[in-house]
Amino acid sequence: MIRCRRAYDPPTPADGQRVLVDRLWPRNCRKESLKLDEWRREVAPSTALRQAFKTGALSFDEFRQRYRSELAAHPEHWWALLDPAEKGVLTLVYAARDEQLNNAQVLAEWLEEALERRDAPSSPTCLAGKS
């Protein structure tokens, strides 16, 4: 299960493994208050992409599409997040104000799709003719 929570919300026991998925540390947050298991800067959108979205140069749909392209190009950045999501609760922690239009939501969607692909059985066509 994958959840997304703002860095400014207090952690709960139901959060499971908490991973900060922003390139920058959240403003006015102490490390102790976040109670993180890890910080994965590399899984965050590139600085240029983040800034373009923040300034309004990109719509959320454009941001989402480009961020997904960045994720596709670097599976080594997010691959390790699949196991905790599959075995328990993975909480993606982010600092954005908007709880719906942010990088953590896009990443959560990406990871859910990757989990579905990982669990999908092989194509019967591949097994055709083998006895």
Does the structure show a pLDDT above 90 at 124?
no
Percentage, residues of the chain above pLDDT 90: 86
Residue 95 near residue 22 (C-beta atoms within 8 A): yes
Asked if residue 72 has pLDDT above 70, the reply is yes
Q: pTM here?
A: 0.88
Q: Which two tokens stand for residue 31?
A: 């490390």
Where residue 6 falls among pLDDT bands split at 50, 70, 90? very high
Q: How confident is the model at residue 130 (pLDDT cuts 50, 70, 90)?
A: very low
Ramachandran quadrant class, 28 (left: phi over 0; alpha: psi -120 to 50; beta: rest): left
CB 23 within 8 A of CB 102: no
Q: How confident is the model at residue 123 (pLDDT cuts 50, 70, 90)?
A: low
For 35-64, how does the pLDDT look when each residue is reduced to its tens digit (9 = 90+)? 999 999 999 999 999 999 999 999 999 999
Q: C-alpha angle with apex 101: 95 to 106, nearest 5 degrees?
A: 90
pLDDT band at residue 20 using 50, 70 and 90 as cut-offs: very high
CA 25 to CA 15: how far, in whole Å?
19
What are the tokens at 61? 């749909």
Instruction: Report domain extents, the chain.
Output: 2-127
User: Is the pLDDT score of 84 beyond 60?
Assistant: yes
